Structure 1
Amino acid sequence: MKRSVVKLGGSTAFHAEMREWIFALATAGMPLVVVPGGGPFADQVRDAQKQMKFSNQAAHFMAILAMDQMGLAIVEMHDRLVPARTFEEIDVALERREIPIWLPSQMCFSATEIPQSWDMTSDSLAAWLAGKIGAGALLLVKQTNAFDENSQILNLVADGVVDPLLPMMLKPATGFFLAGPAALVTARHRFAAGEVPGVRIGADRPLARGAA
């Protein structure tokens, strides 16, 4: 079965939906990797940059470290979740039927193909990881339901639902899904059945076998 990547948006951090999503993810019957958003930790980087005037390069690295921090917080929320900093640690966790929570700094700091910009958020980093591990599906979990099966990626960028670099980072063979709070109704059942909850965006895009 193809791997899936799930980006758990940092916007869920202070909402009850975060734990609901984590409990749903923990039932997963397929191999998946969770990418944490930066959440309140990334917000602090943005605020500090305004006051301290450090470069976007420094802010980019700090925002990735914010994802590490968020990931460490998420790991403590369920026994099936484990931290993963490398491809090898991801592989080992999946072989053990654990759910790796990606802590991206170790892999991303040296990745020259990743733009050092606020346009490159955890959305695009999740797409980058999905491409690297050959994931069949990428699911972005958002704290909004402002999309449907007719939504187009470029319109989602314009509306601020996803980041500007996602279209560039998302591989053509990766099925792309979005889920908001409304998807929680069926999320546990669908994850347990080895399916991706939410809405598939761009139905004309190819979907790798075993990713549905």
Structure 2
Amino acid sequence: MTHVLILGANGQIARYAIDLLLNETDAQLTLYLRNANRLSNLQSDRVSIREGDVLDLATLKEAMESQDVVYANLSGDMEGQAKNIVKNMEKTGLKRLIFINAFGIYDEIPGEFGKWNQRVIGQYLPPYRKAADIIEDSDLDYTIVRPPWLTNEDEIDYEITQKAGPFIGTVVSRKSVASLVVKMVESPGLHVRRNLGINKPNTNGDRPAFME
């Protein structure tokens, strides 16, 4: 049985991932978030809930004990959180990290969509780039996942791109990102030390369709 620590467990992608993990795997989940009451209605003998902040080194270290995989689905101080995750994983001997980041941090989006995206969210991306650099500079078995604009479509439909290539597409469903996370939990060697873009196929355009 795989033990998975989910950081930022009340996030929207994380919620989909929790549902898929409980329904499609036998994984034991530790849900880590700042306000445990937000998940108080989640009842399962395979779930434990830990209240804490990723910026709290001691509490985070305790939560990492006896885990196999850390899946981080965070916002806020991305650089500080990435530093704490790496530091505590190295202390506890944990190796496998799945970290949700953001697309556009490498100026990898071509064409008019890339220009539009930079205007809309470019100012928010530097901390995400710093977090990715911290993780890639570690010795962890990481996978960084960079989704584009997210939808709540009830679908699993995605393709992936590598860091070295251009980003493709404009949107992807949160459930699709969660499905990729679950695949990596089930197959810990999948996409190790890779930095992936994820998108719904055939969604190229000058901006996301829901904003046209």
Sort the TM-score into its range (normalised by shorter chain): 0.3 to 0.5
TM-score (norm 1): 0.42
Between 1 and 2, higher relative CO (CA 8 Å, sep ≥ 6) is seen in 1
Structure with greater helix share of residues? 1
Structure with greater strand share of residues? 2
